[in-house]
Amino acid sequence: MNNKSWRHHYLPESYIKGFTKESGKIKIYNVLTETFIKNGNEFSPKSYFFEKNANTFKNNNIEDDFIEGWYAKFDSEISKIISKINNSDSSKKFEVNEDDMPIINQFVSLMYWRLPHNKDRLNKLITENDLNQLGLAVKNNDGIKNFESEEKIRLHPEFFKIYRLCNSLIDSLRGSLCRTPYTIFPKIEQFPYICSDNPIIFKDESPLVYSDDFIFPLSGKRLFIKSHIKKDLPNSIWLFTDSIILKQAVKYVAVTDEKYIHVLENWMTSRNFELDSLKSELFEILNKAGL
């Protein structure tokens, strides 16, 4: 009996569940065809936002899903923190402590590099750098670097899958000296929930994940903001965030209310907003809140 997993989510199931409401399900909007899948039928969180065998390691005709096991471990840890945040409020500081915030930041990196559309960026890093520049090294028993083994590992056809995970963990070390504070911002409960296959908002297309400011929806009702925030944020930040989540989607958007797609589209059209201008406005709001 083969119990090896194959449905490898780049948006973890536990994360997607945070964008469901009473039914525990989501509607899927295809931004390429501008239509809802199966005329707006609802789907379980496990049905979308995954790639088949994305983290299956193949070597000498042997397949192993240990990489997926590592992701599952991190996803389980973060799901507990997100659940705690969702079930608390700002008066109790969402029940998070100084140890929780870096874990959320690490989760953002783990998710960012798992997103299918970031494969090209990661492949370019691997192609243009040796193992040492990638933050790794292979040494003999005498402590001397083994360049031949390093190159053999880097050129292994499955190295990409290993490094995708390692790079996210190294991001935590790269950002260890970053002192940018984190903020959690609540959403008005009556708003529909929306998520996409590109849910992390950076100002630039090729960000330094470990140090750049970003906005990341932890769920349909909580935003995780990495930026210096000293003043109260306006509720309009959710319209900007949700619009960008929709606008920067590569293929799929999950939403709890079909009409919300049209509400966001009409709001953007009425203000002549495109993706770049939306991001500029959003980060300007953050900048003013940090003054």
Closest among 249, 241, 231, 242 to 283, alpha carbons compared: 241
Q: Where are the beta strands (DSSP E) in the chain?
A: 7-9, 26-30, 35-36, 42-43, 50-52, 57-59, 62-64, 182-186, 194-196, 214-219, 222-226, 252-255
**What pLDDT score was predicted for residue 1?**
42
Write the CB contacts of 139 (distance below 8 Å, at least 6 apart in sequence): 145, 146
On the CB side of 140, CA atoms within 13 Å amount to 6
d(C-alpha 39, C-alpha 119), whole Å:
31
Tokens of 15: 């994360």
CA dihedral of 269, 271, 275, 276, whole degrees rounded to 10: 150
**What pLDDT score was predicted for residue 140?**
82
* DSSP character at residue 233: P
For residue 139, give the 3-state DSSP assignment: strand
**What pLDDT score was predicted for residue 252?**
98
Closest among 197, 207, 217, 209 to 167, alpha carbons compared: 209
d(C-alpha 100, C-alpha 81), whole Å:
7
For residue 187, give the 3-state DSSP assignment: coil
d(C-alpha 101, C-alpha 81), whole Å:
9
CB of 55 closer than 8 Å to CB of 63: no
Residue with tokens 């989540």: 245
CB of 16 closer than 8 Å to CB of 49: yes
**What pLDDT score was predicted for residue 79?**
95
Could you tell me the mean pLDDT of each successive run of 10 residues in the chain, 291 residues long?
84 96 95 96 96 93 93 95 90 80 90 96 92 84 80 89 92 78 87 96 92 94 92 92 97 97 96 96 94 67
d(C-alpha 126, C-alpha 67), whole Å:
18
Predicted TM-score (pTM) of this structure: 0.92
